[in-house]
């Protein structure tokens, strides 16, 4: 039984297996926390397997997670983007209260003939009436006719309106309104944080809202190699956004504490925002002189986000607890040292 977070340390489920929920998100539904992500249990640096479906975990305390199984299954058909040899990244689940339906957005890349062709990137959507039951693919498409890469999805609890936040491949971050059923975009969108290309182009946008400010934390584009994370803030969801630059304090190696953040979880009962990240290079293997990530043993970095005024900061902590933030505003202690 865990009673604290220890970022970067191996994290096991209640069955004693390494948690396999990479690149995903956490949602709170009817008193239970759910964490979904890429199942990398069969992925090795030299076997060509990219994923083995989307795995789901449940928890009542955010520390101890029960394996609910694979909820979006891999396919044996190579023409199906869920085939294990094809690229499937960053499954995120949101709940549609109006339709009483769980909606999963997933990033795909490649084709059946060229599964590793990153130049072809698009989105998939799957649905289920029960988060613990199998999700069914309902469509694949290019939102707004664009090639979109890493992404986040957000539902405003005030009005139930949904948003798709994604990096338009190697150019900018877009924020697009979702349709009422969360299965498409309306066509209304805005563009932010433009860059010329890798490694400066932003990817892996993680989105949150706090006190009427909207925040995007994003990564540079360097594959599995970690790099500095930057924050941007706006007073309206469609901006404009101010680039606040580096978000990780004392990040001496400029690697975001050796991770890439994939989502931000707002605790339902606290002024607590948790940056959820993957330590992809936790284990590496040298193949033909090239250092490759063994993502089957990739780790996780969960860290609280502090705020000084309207600016977010992430500080490294070897260990921390939810009780550290009982009835406490997330004011950044760095400014009080």
| DSSP one-letter code for 84 | T
How far is Cα 178 from Cα 173, in angstroms, rounded to an integer? 16
Confidence of residue 332 (pLDDT cuts 50, 70, 90): very low
| 131-153 confidence digits (pLDDT tens) | 999 999 999 999 999 999 999 99
Backbone angles phi, psi at 151, to 5 degrees: -155, 170
| DSSP one-letter code for 320 | B
Confidence of residue 105 (pLDDT cuts 50, 70, 90): very high
* Pick from 160, 250, 258, 259: nearest CA to 206: 259
Section 219-236 average pLDDT: 96
How far is Cα 41 from Cα 34, in angstroms, rounded to an integer? 19
pLDDT for res 328: 56
Neighbours of 173 (CB within 10 A): 28
| 235-283 confidence digits (pLDDT tens) | 999 999 999 999 999 999 999 999 999 999 999 999 999 999 999 999 9
Q: Provide, rounded to the nearest whole percent, the portion of the chain with pLDDT above 70.
A: 97
Chain position carrying tokens 């989502």: 263
End-to-end CA distance of the chain: 33
- Judge whether residue 334 has pLDDT over 70: no
Confidence of residue 330 (pLDDT cuts 50, 70, 90): low
Neighbours of 57 (CB within 10 A): 22
How far is Cα 277 from Cα 41, in angstroms, rounded to an integer? 18
Contact 209, 215 (CB under 8 A): yes
Section 309-334 average pLDDT: 81
SS3 55: strand
Contact 244, 186 (CB under 8 A): no
Contact 152, 263 (CB under 8 A): yes
pLDDT for res 82: 98
SS3 297: helix
Section 76-91 average pLDDT: 97
Q: What is the mean pLDDT of the chain?
A: 95
- Judge whether residue 335 has pLDDT over 50: no
Domains of the chain: 22-336 (2.115.10.20)
How far is Cα 91 from Cα 262, in angstroms, rounded to an integer? 10
Could you write out the DSSP letters of every residue in 85-110? TSEEEEEEEEEETTTTEEEEEEEEE-
How far is Cα 158 from Cα 169, in angstroms, rounded to an integer? 31
- Judge whether residue 160 has pLDDT over 80: yes
How far is Cα 83 from Cα 53, in angstroms, rounded to an integer? 8
- Judge whether residue 229 has pLDDT over 90: yes
| 5-58 confidence digits (pLDDT tens) | 999 999 999 999 999 999 999 999 999 999 999 999 999 999 999 999 999 999
pLDDT for res 327: 58
């Amino acid at each position: 039984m865990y009673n604290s977070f220890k970022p970067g340390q191996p994290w096991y489920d209640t069955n004693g297996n390494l948690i396999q929920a990479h690149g995903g998100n956490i949602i709170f539904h009817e008193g239970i926390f759910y964490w979904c992500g890429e199942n990398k249990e069969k992925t090795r640096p030299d076997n060509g397997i990219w994923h083995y479906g989307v795995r789901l975990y449940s928890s009542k305390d955010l520390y101890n997670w029960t394996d609910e199984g694979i909820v979006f299954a891999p396919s044996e058909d190579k023409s199906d983007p869920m085939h294990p040899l094809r690229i499937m990244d960053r499954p995120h689940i949101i709940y549609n209260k109006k339709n009483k339906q769980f909606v999963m957005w997933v990033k795909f890349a490649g084709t059946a003939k060229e599964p590793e062709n990153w130049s072809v990137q698009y989105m998939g959507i799957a649905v289920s009436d029960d988060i613990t039951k199998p999700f069914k693919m309902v469509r694949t498409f290019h939102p707004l006719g664009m090639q979109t890469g890493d992404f986040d999805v957000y539902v405003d609890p005030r009005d139930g309106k949904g948003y798709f936040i994604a990096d338009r491949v190697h150019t900018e971050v877009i924020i697009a309104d979702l349709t009422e059923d969360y299965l498409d975009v309306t066509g209304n969108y805005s563009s932010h944080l433009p860059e010329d290309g890798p490694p400066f182009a932003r990817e892996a946008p993680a989105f949150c809202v706090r006190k009427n400010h909207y925040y995007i934390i994003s990564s540079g584009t360097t594959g599995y190699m970690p790099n500095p994370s930057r924050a941007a803030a706006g007073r309206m969801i469609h901006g404009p956004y101010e680039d606040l630059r580096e978000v990780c304090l004392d990040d001496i190696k400029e690697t975001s504490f050796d991770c890439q953040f994939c989502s931000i979880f707002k605790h339902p009962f606290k002024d607590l925002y948790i940056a959820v990240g993957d330590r992809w290079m936790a284990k590496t293997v040298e193949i033909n002189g090239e250092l490759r990530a063994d993502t089957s043993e990739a780790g996780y970095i969960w860290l609280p986000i502090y705020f000084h005024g309207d600016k977010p900061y992430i500080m490294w902590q070897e260990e921390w607890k939810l009780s550290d933030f009982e009835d406490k505003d997330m004011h950044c202690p760095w400014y009080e040292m």
